[in-house]
Amino acid sequence: TYKFMSGDSTKSATAQQNATSTPATGDQVQAQEVKVGTGTEATPGSEVSVMYVGKLTDGTVFDSSAAHDNKPLTFVLGSQDMIPGFQIGVNGMKVGGQRVMAVPPTLAYGDKPVTNPQTGAVIIPANSTIVFEVELVSVKPAPASAAK
């Protein structure tokens, strides 16, 4: 399973995105475009597929597409099973685009460390800012019934 899934998120990514539209508070995802995509835009409700590398700020890789047989991570943008900061960072990207994003603890795992379920070893320490290098590889638009 992907190590940056979040089953206990209480706010939707849309609510989190709205919360991060305010002046700098330390609760914002910092993103830098590496390459601007030209394909379909990732919007809430669409199914997106990304290739990624997840790192701690010291450069330690904690997860990546390479660790999953180079298969993209696919999820519905705005779903509750991904950390809000990852979704905020992917929102608005276009297929072919590449982005580096720093996700603060408040939009990631907060004060809870992420541990290896088999060994108990800490993978992501509590209160960690995490960095993702992401490439958007596909977007399937939201079904018409889901559009609001």
Q: Which of 4, 75, 86, 132 is catalytic?
A: 132
Q: Which of 4, 88, 109, 123 is catalytic?
A: 109
Residue 83 falls in the annotated catalytic set: yes
Q: Which of 52, 88, 124, 130 is catalytic?
A: 52
Cα angle value 80/81/85 (rounded, 5°): 80
Residue 132 falls in the annotated catalytic set: yes
Q: Which of 75, 83, 124, 130 is catalytic?
A: 83
Q: Which of 122, 121, 134, 83 is nearest to 104 (CA)?
A: 83
Residue 130 falls in the annotated catalytic set: no
Question: Helix H segments across the chain?
Answer: 13-19, 84-90
3-state secondary structure of 73: strand
Instruction: Give just the sign of the alpha carbon dihedral 147, 12, 134, 7.
Output: negative
Q: Which of 63, 75, 86, 88 is catalytic?
A: 63
Q: What is the 8-class DSSP label of residue 14?
A: H
In the chain, DSSP assigns E strands to 30-35, 47-56, 61-64, 73-76, 98-103, 114-115, 122-124, 130-140
Residue 62 falls in the annotated catalytic set: yes
Q: Which residues are catalytic?
A: 52, 62-63, 83, 109, 132
